[in-house]
A = this chain, B = another copy of it.
């Protein structure tokens, strides 16, 4: 596994260097997908192709589930599955030039093995998995101590917050504040490092696969916003938090508070 970890980090950092160069040249080709705010660039596609080529060369048994180029569905999570988001936070990539991530999650028969989240501009690489622990760049990271919803910040998806899905406005009100970064990877890293107490959004498998492997290493909980297991199939409303806060938030969302 150590060779795979080292290789994966090397590929992702190399992919990140290419993204930095592309940003410096200001020659992005931007298209829309499902809506005017659902962006994809030539770099999303190129980065995904680059990662898939490296992964498949290394592991000929690899199954791939990835955001672009028609790789967005798999018939099952059986075997070893690499879940790839070549640019998580494409809108930020285009409009901010920062706060975007490259992410890969590795699952074995649906169980998390490894997660890799690389915040390209910050050069902050969070990676790990249940059998090895969690690391930020080269340093071991300990499970954060998160006292309560009322003591921390919550990342919430803009549209879900506006429409008060799952009483998300009340969840925000009970916290220390709501943050919207526009990037699942940024939020899940914050959560793993104790800078957030929860993250609520509308996510696809490539948005949560890497972060999910890392958060589960810390015993944190993630599910759809009804408390049911994530399906790794299409977009779902998503909740992640450390165990006691997860239960507190789900009770607010489902109106089952005692």
Do the beta carbons of A182 and B177 come within 8 Å of each other? yes
Do the beta carbons of B177 and A37 come within 8 Å of each other? yes
Cross-chain contact of A95 among B37, B91, B96, B152 (Cβ < 8 A): B152
Do the beta carbons of A176 and B37 come within 8 Å of each other? yes
In chain A between 151 and 200, which residues have their CB closer than 8 angstroms to a CB of chain B? Answer: 152-153, 158, 161-162, 169, 172-173, 176-182, 190, 195
Do the beta carbons of A158 and B172 come within 8 Å of each other? yes
Cross-chain contact of A195 among B96, B150, B169 (Cβ < 8 A): B96
Q: A28-69, CB under 8 A of B: which get 1 and which 0? A: 000000001100000000000000000000000000000000
Contacts of A152 in B (CB 8 A): 95
Cross-chain contact of A153 among B169, B179, B182, B195 (Cβ < 8 A): B182
Known contacts A176-B37, A178-B180; A97 and B162 CB within 8 A of each other: no
Cβ distance A197 to chain B, nearest Cβ, rounded Å: 9
In chain A between 1 and 46, which residues have their CB closer than 8 angstroms to a CB of chain B? Answer: 36-37
Q: Residue of B at shortest CB range from A155?
A: B180
A136 to B75, CA, bound (A): 50
Do the beta carbons of A158 and B178 come within 8 Å of each other? yes
Cross-chain contact of A162 among B95, B153, B161, B190 (Cβ < 8 A): B161
A195 to B153, CA, bound (A): 23
Cβ distance A129 to chain B, nearest Cβ, rounded Å: 25
Cβ distance A194 to chain B, nearest Cβ, rounded Å: 9
Cβ distance A114 to chain B, nearest Cβ, rounded Å: 26
Do the beta carbons of B182 and A91 come within 8 Å of each other? no
Beyond A97-B195, A179-B180, A179-B181, list 5 extra A-B contacts (CB 8 Å). Answer: A91-B153, A95-B176, A162-B169, A162-B172, A178-B180
Would you list 10 pairs from A and B whose C-beta atoms are within 8 A, ordered by A residue?
A36-B150, A37-B176, A91-B176, A95-B195, A97-B195, A98-B195, A158-B172, A179-B181, A180-B180, A181-B181
